[in-house]
Structure 1
């Protein structure tokens, strides 16, 4: 699958089979995430791979939008480490680029995934930090719920020419 196909066909998948995601797949996803660009090459990301069933059930309670984590075989929490920031505030942009790479890699590997945000909701951030024992300087940005898809969503052409401006508004 080429990159443009992956971008055009990737969809947010929220239903998964019980099949375990291989360590090889997990490493592929994390390598793709860590290949993302970052401000000053600071690479402020941290990742917590969650495959413990009880912890996945607790993860599902972090937000009203992460319920599918309880029935998934895997989630990856993406966190920004503010202690390595060269350019304060860019951790969120950098980690978001890593997430997009991870989502595209999951799709290319035949996996399904959905990006579930935590930040900037302080209660969700604090609950997530507590759940995974993250230090105070590390900010939980999102949970990516992953697995082998148990749904088949069709690609959608989302191009909207009314959102494109040239040179000025």
Structure 2
């Protein structure tokens, strides 16, 4: 899977819309993620309005790039589930799937962390009017990258332990 070794965090985007079929593919990839007890706690806000994108950019000190992206996906999760202690793990898996599919489609994205920081989660909740039964997890700005970058090789053999 080449996307694993070519994915980078993209923060600069062309002024170009993301096609509907690509958005659909990204959401399908997100929902294909594994989840504990198959609880699939995720729901997604797809944001394209520039005013909303600008407001989301203010939800995190690292969110400046959001306002220049073509769109953003905001994964949220349901609080009522069989195994709530695994929600963060499930959401990380679906977010990683989003990032990999974005790369596969020739787009770029970056994971803007929101959870577990209560103030950032509340900021996102207020911007998107997220109902109380859902919890904001991340903001993922997506668009066509201005430039390509090579992924740095992060393999470190000293972190591998064989039995």
**Coarse TM-score class (shorter-chain normalised):** over 0.9
Match of 1:121? Answer: 117
Q: 2:148 aligns with which of 149, 152, 161?
A: 152
- How far 1:153 moved relative to its partner? 0.8
Match of 2:30? Answer: 33
- TM-score of the aligned structures, taking structure 2 as reference length: 0.97
- How far 1:82 moved relative to its partner? 1.3
- In 1, the alpha carbon distance for the partners of 2:76 and 2:159 equals 31
- In 2, the alpha carbon distance for the partners of 1:121 and 1:75 equals 19
Match of 1:52? Answer: 49
Q: 1:131 aligns with which of 127, 143, 163?
A: 127
Identify unmatched segments of 5+ residues in structure 1. none
- How far 1:133 moved relative to its partner? 1.1
- In 2, the alpha carbon distance for the partners of 1:97 and 1:37 equals 7
- In 1, the alpha carbon distance for the partners of 2:14 and 2:23 equals 16
Identify unmatched segments of 5+ residues in structure 2. none
- How far 1:156 moved relative to its partner? 1.6
- How far 1:166 moved relative to its partner? 2.5
Q: 2:82 aligns with which of 69, 86, 101?
A: 86
Deviates more, 1:157-166 or 1:34-43: 157-166
- TM-score of the aligned structures, taking structure 1 as reference length: 0.94
Q: 1:17 aligns with which of 6, 14, 19?
A: 14
Moved over 2 A (4+): none
- In 1, the alpha carbon distance for the partners of 2:89 and 2:131 equals 20
Report the secondary structure of 1:103's partner residue. helix
